[in-house]
Amino acid sequence: MKKLYTTIALAAAAFAANAQNPIISSMFAPDPAPYVHDGKVYLFVDHDEPDATFYYMKDWHIFETEDMVNWTHLGAQVTTATFDWAIQGDNAWASQAVERNGKWYWYLSIIEKATRAQVIAVAVADSPMGPWKDAIGGPLAKGEGSFIDPTVFVDDDGRAYLFWGNKGCWYGELNPDMISFKNGFKEVPGFHDPKCFGPAVMKMNWDKGEMEMMVGYEEGPWVMKRNGIYYMSYPAGGVPEHMAYSTAKNINGPWTYGGKIMDIAPNSFTIHGGNVNYKGHDYMFYHSGMLPNGNSYRRSACVEEFKFNADGSIPFIPFSDEGVAPVGTVNPYKRVEGETMAQCYGIKNDRLAGDRHYATSIHTGDWIRIREVDFGTDGQPKNLTAEVLNVKNEGRAEFYLDTLYIQEKRVRPIATINVTPGSSVITAPVRGEVSGKHDVWILFRGGDEELFDLDWWQFSK
């Protein structure tokens, strides 16, 4: 048993005490595209496989948060199978989504089966939870060059634009239907000018099959507007990529190179992301290869807070292990999803569409950490209830406050959910005094085989 505790302690230490980056640890979730809507931040990501040796990607996932530290998995809502004209089970690359007049539009990088061309697809739904459908039945944008990494931007006057491209940047104004272009699309003006898109570097031109000098811009544009200025941030400098940005007074340019804003990502030669303002804070999302077993093909989303300079320029944003401070709390007296977490070890997400999701692949020694759980000061929790699914073997979910260990000694759980074959909804008593704000750690224990899936938990007074 001592060995088990040591293993758990090491696993917990693998993510240093307050380490929050990468923010998604239940799967490799690169190319984060945040979107603020209705008091929440949605995060649209693609998905590196755990054993990947290239970008062999099959599906796109969504997460959401209201506190910037605990993220809830909302499922694999779109897969390559959404587009029957695309290559299946591969090349599900970077994406971005937006809500417009009650409909959600998700722009994605994919490969057309008939031509093997990298093209932009668009899926549409009434809500992030889907069902998402192919909006057109074919590519939205297709042409000469590497048509990947779409970013969608809706201007103050309601006009919407799509930008995209690797080693080239194209854009077009979208019609109000969001699934067609008003006047086609074209290369972004000034694209080949280093004054617009950064100092030139030698890069491989895959179309010509030779090295050539190109502007700093590499791929992954992210377009937004602040105080009347348009900003485009993008991975730059060839591979390995850092993050740079340009600004313009007009969406049609000219763009002016603004400088480097992030270094080469830790343990990943690509970087990709974008920024949003949420609850008065500015956040820059990106990905790194810093999860256990991570690398350039096994990347996950990270986030840093930053402040624009007084003149509107973006400062250099350093990477941190800590990530960002919470801007909200979790109410333990309401249902908390099993797939809501700040960090985890060993746990995976389901890969389902729809609205029922859960924490899965649970084995002895795996854990989930939920931050900023506010038990309040008005009365004690008396019971803990949890629902488990797909019970494979008996085991238990032990709930702890703030830590699993004090000086290498295991602390006592405040409640234990004992799971036996056939279990579903289980209630257990709460031990000790519990009030105020805490991290809740859920430690799973049982035999050597996979245990069960966790759907939700909730305390009651």
Residues 182 and 174: their CA atoms lie apart, in Å, by: 6
Contact yes or no for 146/111 (Cβ under 8 A): no
**219 interacts with ligand FUB by CB under 6 A:** yes
Report, in Å, the least distance between residue 113 CB and ligand FUB: 19
Site string for ligand FUB, 16-55 (x = CB under 6 A): --------------xx--------------x--------x
Residues 197 and 199: their CA atoms lie apart, in Å, by: 7
Site string for ligand FUB, 53-92 (x = CB under 6 A): --x-------------------------------------
Beta strands 437-446 and 409-410: pairing type? unpaired
Binder among 220, 289, 338, 395 for ligand FUB (CB under 6 A) = 220
Residues 321 and 429: their CA atoms lie apart, in Å, by: 36
Report how many residues bind ligand FUB under the rule CB under 6 A.
Answer: 13
Looking only at residues 155 through 214 of this chain, which bind ligand FUB when binding is defined by CB under 6 A? none
Looking only at residues 264 through 323 of this chain, which bind ligand FUB when binding is defined by CB under 6 A? 270, 272
DSSP strands (E only) in 289-382: 300-306, 336-337, 340-341, 343-345, 348-349, 359-360, 367-374
Residues 347 and 369: their CA atoms lie apart, in Å, by: 11
Widest pairwise Cα distance in the chain? 70
Report, in Å, the least distance between residue 26 CB and ligand FUB: 18
Contact yes or no for 65/45 (Cβ under 8 A): no
Binder among 20, 70, 109, 246 for ligand FUB (CB under 6 A) = 109
Nearer residue to ligand FUB within complex by CB, 270 or 416: 270
Report, in Å, the least distance between residue 299 CB and ligand FUB: 7
Report, in Å, the least distance between residue 50 CB and ligand FUB: 15
Report, in Å, the least distance between residue 297 CB and ligand FUB: 9
**149 interacts with ligand FUB by CB under 6 A:** yes
- Reported as half-sphere exposure (CB side, CA atoms, 13 A), residue 367 has a value of 29
Residues 352 and 336: their CA atoms lie apart, in Å, by: 19
**372 interacts with ligand FUB by CB under 6 A:** no
- Reported as half-sphere exposure (CB side, CA atoms, 13 A), residue 129 has a value of 7
**337 interacts with ligand FUB by CB under 6 A:** no
Residues 237 and 233: their CA atoms lie apart, in Å, by: 13
**148 interacts with ligand FUB by CB under 6 A:** yes
Q: Identify the burial level of 109 via C-beta atoms within 10 angstroms of its C-beta, where 0-12 means exposed, 13-18 middle and 19 or more buried.
A: buried
Residues that bind ligand FUB (CB under 6 A): 30-31, 46, 55, 93-94, 109, 148-149, 219-220, 270, 272
